[in-house]
Amino acid sequence: MTYSEDEIKNIVDAQRKYFRSGVTLDVKWRIRQLKKLKAAVIAHEAEFEEALATDLGRSRVEAYLCDIGPIITEINEMLCGLRRWARPERHFSGWMCFPSLVTKVYKMPYGVSLVISPFNFPILLTIGVVAAAMSGGNTVVIKSSSKSAASTAVLKRFFAEVFPPEYITLIDGGHDIADRCLAQRFDKIFYTGSPAVGKHVLTEAAKNLTPVALELGGETGNWCVVRKDADLKDAARKIAFFKLCNAGQICININQVAVAEEVADLFLAELKRAFVAQIGEHAENNEEYPHLITDAAYDKCEQLAEEYRSRILFGGKGDRASRRYAPTVIYPVQTDEHIVQHELFNPLLPIVPFKDAEADALMEIIAEREHPLAMYLFTKNMKWANHVMQTQQYGGGCINEVCIHMMVKGVPFNGTGHSGMGAYHGEWGFREFTHPQTVLKGRTCCNLPLREHPYGGKAEKIKLAILRKFER
């Protein structure tokens, strides 16, 4: 379906009218809607699995592990915490405000929000963000990806069945429809995708001064660093799992591995064994292995692999008919080569050797590039690892693990700079979709003339003495 600018405006206007009715402000009402959403996700699980298989070649287990299960966990966290999160905060105003000593902070929803979701996790990164907006008391217009057409079709039916369009509605279509959405005046925009499109979203949002949250992949990719003292078998097993997941089409996936050259051969041998153990020698023929989203994505991956054909140690094969391209290890690659200076979003895995004694110099090179969405370190040197994690700039990460930091309850998820802005998951999602409003409750008696004129003469000395006393 093609939406005209007027049709989109009518949808936004209807949602703004619904929001202004005040129905979404009631926390009990929001909890009922979240319960309805959770029940609907469970009821439509089979449809979501089928759509993910069509769009990305996901197996049932991977569909549940990466899309459906995390949504249920996320909604459960909201149901447990929403009353507490939404409760107004009570603060002591301070003696400077005497006699008005009570101030409250109310968590007010922004209003009508726009959620632009991506193709790589079309169910999770649509419903998960919508749930955060709902927890904050907003209405939602969704623009889902045209690349994941089967998932978009299922989601459109799903939301139409569960919620009225004046509360939640999904608009499908290509980039032209997204631009028509961005032309409207929304109260909050949440975009997940590439930094290049993120800049465009910010530009359009600025026309209406609309606050924006961006979840981006990181322009120069996420690094994984393997020191010589790391447990190489453990590191290889986890890295192989993660690179296989969704065929590398994950914003927090490992873009390249930097491995200490002293153990590079041992690590590469373990990595090959891990890939074979998990997916077999011919992943491109394995139906459990996901495929790339479009022919264009497959061709881009294949062309880059051909450019590095002489350095491929494992993989390097694909099946264009199914769009499956095997996990491909490329070694050696230097830090200044173009393959490690942009986000790959595919199963290619460049391996960058470095001298273990020069690990800090490597981290300086990484720090000079755009901030990644994720950082992964494998080492037994916890002092060094903790120092790196507390001094580098990135979205989030793990020490001796991959990816599961984003599954921890109660912690924020997102990037910084070219990898994003804002944060969500659980209470952080509630905060992202609400504005804290400070309200001081004034008193009508016992008000001192301290702030009022005159400021000179006898009053000057007395007022300054009292003010200095209050400020201590």
**Sign of the CA dihedral with 196 first, then 198, 199, and 204 last:** positive
Would you state the torsion angle of the CA atoms of residues 387, 390, 396, 399, taken in this order, to the nearest 10 degrees? 20
As a whole number of angstroms, the distance between CA 129 and CA 99 comes to: 43
Is residue 215 among the annotated active site residues?
yes
The DSSP H or E segment spanning 130 is helix 124-135
Nearest to 143 by CA among 200, 207, 191: 191
Single out the catalytic residue among 181, 251, 398, 403: 251
- Determine the Cα–Cα distance for residues 458 and 136; give it in Å rounded to an integer: 52
Q: Is 398 a catalytic residue?
A: no
Amino acid identity of residue 59, one-letter, is S
Q: How far is CA 323 from CA 153, 208, 285, 320, 402, in A?
A: 21, 41, 10, 5, 26
User: Backbone phi, then psi, for 420, in 5-degree steps?
Assistant: 140, 180
Classify 5 as helix, strand or coil: helix
- 442 Cβ contact list (under 8 Å, min separation 6): 100
The catalytic position among 49, 215, 219, 432 is: 215
| Residues noted as catalytic | 215, 251
